Structure 1
Amino acid sequence: MNRFQSVLLLLFFFEVQISVAQGGFDLWVVDTEGTGGNLHLLPQTAKPLTDRPEYDNQPSFINDSELVFSAADDKGNSDIILYSFRTGNFTNFSKTSDRSEFSPALTDCKQYISAVVMEPDSTQRLWLYPVSGEPAELLYDDIAPVGYYDWYDNKAAMFVLGDPNRLVYAWGKGNVEEIAPWVGRAIKRRPKTSEISFVDMGNQKTDPAGEINKISSYDFKKRKYHDLGNTLAGSQDFIWLDKNHLLMARGNEIFVKKASEPNWTSIGAIASDSHHTISRMAYSQDLNKLVFVMQRN
């Protein structure tokens, strides 16, 4: 096992076996103005959305006013929580004592909230939770352990932990294509395209601020790869603002980059005495809000 695999293993088990002793994570929210490459934060509006010693992480907007995320209780068991910006209320979308749900997201068909589930025997697979409230369904019984994923054409592109970690796409039962080895945890559909983007950790560069990796995408229609430039040094989580612009964070500062250009530009920084280090993010153009995760001091 090389050092890249070791780092990803540590990151993965930190994510899915988080404990209170390892420190809590909270969701924050900040208002924005502008769009795309002209997006800017309004730092004076930044505030915690959650404020608990446990693990609140992996936010994802499911419509123009609601957000889902993974939240752990004081015993370390994680459920899917829904937050409404319209009402200001938090609601348990799932409440399971024998398993934990991570990385919730809305499926392409909008009929389910998907999640990586750590099952009672610690198997990690992708499940579907109907928005109608009916019982959850196991989607791919033969693909595990799944860590992260996103959707294209009602099928999942999944980070599967192994040696090496792989990005795979399930065309159908028994028809699973390997897209890339040595991938990072950010697996994101490029909006309004047939591309899934990911961090390629196979050829890292060293920088005083941390390691730099390539961002790549795979076009399912054209069956070709695209080079989208490099990550920020020391960072690996990114999201898409729109079809052409990427967002990443380093420390308490957030940056934007056009996919076809090399340089990252700062759009603002978050000042906090209680939290540090921005990681996961979710953006709503409808609300002009950016939700992000910060670690408690």
Structure 2
Amino acid sequence: MPNHNNNTTLAGYGVLTALLLVPCSALAAGFDIWIYKLNYQDNQQQWTVTDGRPVTERDGYDNQPNFSPDSSQLLFTSDRQAAPNSNSQTPAAHNDIYQFQIADSHIEQLTFTPEQSEYSPQAFKTDKATKQITYVVEQGVPHQSVWQQTGNAPRKRAIKSLIPTGYYATNENLGTLLWARYAYSLYFEPNGETADERHFVVANVGRSIHAIPNDEAFSYLHKQLDGDRLIKRYSPKDNSHTALIALPNSASEDYAWSQNNWLFNIDNGQLVAWNRASKNSWQLISSIPLPNANYLSASRITISPDNQHLAIVWQRK
């Protein structure tokens, strides 16, 4: 096996069992985010990964990372204590959205809602004047929907659907794909319309859904009756579903796309990738050992738009 302390290249793959997380405050404990440096050599079609550093390292819930479009920041949800200048003077029993600056490791709180929790943040603009983010607001069972916040202005609904949304993926040219929290099903809200039961897409879907880079389509994890799990491409334009690649039987259901159309996954302590262009099998990039003795396993991953950073969520003991 390759040593994670050295730069390694593609070779093979293994297996991982991951914890299924649903965005619910009852599960909000014991997760940290670490960030790793990536490098891609286009002439050899090889990736390397170097040792990581913590974005968060504490007892508590720090999870659901997403990079900003310019790759300079990492958004995440956290149950840490509210900032001193907020209206709350007590530790937060809820989750807010925070922002990590990759250059200097500065963390800034972006939402202040003592009575509600926010999850699944995504950034669309990152300059201070027009900083625009979206996130899921948990407003009590079963109400859970996607909202948009621009700068310090009051937030507003990002989509019109009232389907209880756990996760979502947006293609600005098409609309938003929604993962219904209690149904494990997908619904699609086209731009300018309202998603409801008429916009049902598919059932038996895992939480990891994405807008596919450089494509007018989305990807999702489809759980088959025989136990297989397929990552599929969904095109709203013609309502088509196409299988891309199957996951190993016990690998993590959380995957991520790079902007040059590689799929990444964590598989038995290994970072593995699949090249959509070559359509070969999963290939090994590097071993990803536990950061230290405080951790049990890896779950979510995300790749920065410039393909230079990887963020991994680690479950704490």
TM-score range for the pair, normalised by the shorter chain length: 0.7 to 0.9
- 1:43-77 deviation line (CA, Å, top 9, x unaligned): xx222221110011111111221110111136541
Q: RMSD of the alignment, in Å?
A: 2.5
Gaps of 5+ in 2: 1-18, 81-90
Q: Supply the distance in 1 between the matched residues of 2:54 and 2:194 (Cα, whole angstroms).
A: 44
**TM-score relative to the length of structure 1:** 0.83
Do residues 72 (structure 1) and 79 (structure 2) align? yes
Describe how 1:229-268 pairs up with structure 2 within 5 A: 229-234=245-250, 235-259=252-276, 261-268=279-286
Letter in 2 for 1:17: S
219, 239, 244: which one pairs with 1:223?
239
Letter in 2 for 1:202: Q
Do residues 214 (structure 1) and 234 (structure 2) align? no
Do residues 199 (structure 1) and 221 (structure 2) align? yes
- 1:225-264 deviation line (CA, Å, top 9, x unaligned): 2211102332210111135310011243211012362521
Contact 2:121–2:136 (CA under 8 A) maintained in structure 1: yes
Identity percentage of aligned residues: 24
Structure 1 position 183, deviation (Å): 0.9
Secondary structure of the structure 2 residue equivalent to 1:186:
coil
Structure 1 position 141, deviation (Å): 5.0
More helix by share: 1
Contact 1:68–1:80 (CA under 8 A) maintained in structure 2: yes
Secondary structure of the structure 2 residue equivalent to 1:290:
strand
Q: Supply the distance in 1 between the matched residues of 2:74 and 2:170 (Cα, whole angstroms).
A: 17
More strand by share: 1
Do residues 151 (structure 1) and 170 (structure 2) align? yes
Structure 1 position 204, deviation (Å): 4.2
111, 117, 138: which one pairs with 1:100?
117
CA distance change for structure 1 residues 108 and 225 in 2, over 3 Å: closer, same or farther? farther
Letter in 2 for 1:127: W
- 1:124-145 deviation line (CA, Å, top 9, x unaligned): 1111111x21111123454221
Higher relative contact order (CA 8 A, sep 6+): 2
Contact 1:217–1:226 (CA under 8 A) maintained in structure 2: yes
Q: Supply the distance in 1 between the matched residues of 2:152 and 2:226 (Cα, whole angstroms).
A: 44
**TM-score relative to the length of structure 2:** 0.78
